[in-house]
Amino acid sequence: MKSAILLFIILSVSCMTAKLPHSKGFGETPFDKEGHRGCRGLMPENTIPAMLKAIDLGVTTLEMDASISKDKKVFLSHEPFFNHEITTKPDSGFIEESTEKRYNMFLLNYAEIQKFDVGLKPHPRFPQQERIAAIKPLLSAVFDSVQAYCLKKNTPIPQFNIETKTTAKTDGIYHPAPEEFVDLLVDVILTKKMQSKVIIQSFDIRTLQYLHSKYPQFKTALLIDDFDKKAFALQLKDLGFLPTIYSPAHKLVTDLLVKQCRDAGIQIIPWTVNDLASMQALKNRGVHGIISDYPNLFAGLK
């Protein structure tokens, strides 16, 4: 039955070639304000201080990236190695861009990883970012810190949009194969009883397919890169099921794409939008949310 529904939707959206008005039948959800890597424009990315700052700014979802250490710990990091832009070594020195990939965290135990600072070095692309001592935290510590902070502030616990950082060409080099990666990630989520609050997103459809097969109760988001020009219907066909969210680079969003998502019953939440005018234009187009490095800008949306 699910296969038949998917095939029907794929055939339907593939026939849409003109600019059409938004579907009226799609059930609306509150506009999702997502802080990218917490709030990368304002605080060190993928750190607990960034997540707590984003909560203060009123986000409804904390977006973050997961990586795996040598001793199978799930922690937050966009790259599987220590990025030269943000890292200070334990000896207070900096990492050169030419050598950063040698600092492969998949080959380090988490106790070694937490000796590196990722908040004190001025970020060359985010001058507003506050300099503060910070480490790459365990996902379990992020859950605990966010829950405690929300309880203290008497504010709702946000959603957690967690990206699996995997690619086929780096399996076993920078991360486990998708099955092991997903199992490790889900184990933390289930242990902390956070499954109702979690969305798992990925550019790597293998992780989403495995997740959907083994843990169908989880919400999923299909990430689409800006160079991916494949038709929406073919992307769904490749994935093999309907994700909860379709999350394209924001420049790919068109009126037709918004309608296709709405007709399929999929939320469309583009990334990464860092100016208010673009945010407002996308909201006016009918997207269901936005991911931004600057969640402080959400206050200006109408």
Residues, the chain: 302
Instruction: With cut-offs at 50, 70 and 90, classify the pLDDT of residue 16.
Output: very low
Give the start-to-end residue ranges of the domains of the chain.
Answer: 2-6+32-300
Please write the tens of the pLDDT for every residue from 217-260: 999 999 999 999 999 999 999 999 999 999 999 999 999 999 99
Nearest alpha carbon to residue 69 among 2, 123, 1, 135:
135
State the Rg of the chain over Cα: 19
Mean pLDDT computed over every residue of the chain = 93
Is residue 104 within 8 A of residue 116, CB to CB? The reply is no
Query: Measuring CA to CA, how many Å separate 123 from each of 44, 95, 119, 128, 153?
Result: 8, 13, 9, 9, 29
Residue 21 has pLDDT above 50, yes or no: no
Nearest alpha carbon to residue 254 among 224, 235, 226, 282:
282
Asked whether the whole model's pTM tops 0.85, one would answer yes
Please write the tens of the pLDDT for every residue from 109-138: 999 999 999 999 999 999 999 999 999 999
Pairwise CA distance, residues 271 & 245, whole Å: 12
Over the range 70-98, which residues count as b (16 or more CB within 10 Å of their CB) and which as e? eeebbbbbbbbbbbbbbbbeeeeeebeee
Please write the tens of the pLDDT for every residue from 187-214: 999 999 999 999 999 999 999 999 999 9
Query: 2-6+32-300 in CATH: which number?
Result: 3.20.20.190
Pairwise CA distance, residues 176 & 68, whole Å: 8
Instruction: Output the six-digit token pair for 3.
Output: 């296969």
Pairwise CA distance, residues 268 & 266, whole Å: 6
What burial class does residue 55 get, using C-beta atoms within 10 Å of its C-beta: 0-12 exposed, 13-18 middle, 19+ buried?
Answer: buried
Instruction: With cut-offs at 50, 70 and 90, classify the pLDDT of residue 171.
Output: very high
Q: Which residue has the higher pLDDT, 17 or 193?
A: 193
Please write the tens of the pLDDT for every residue from 272-286: 999 999 999 999 999
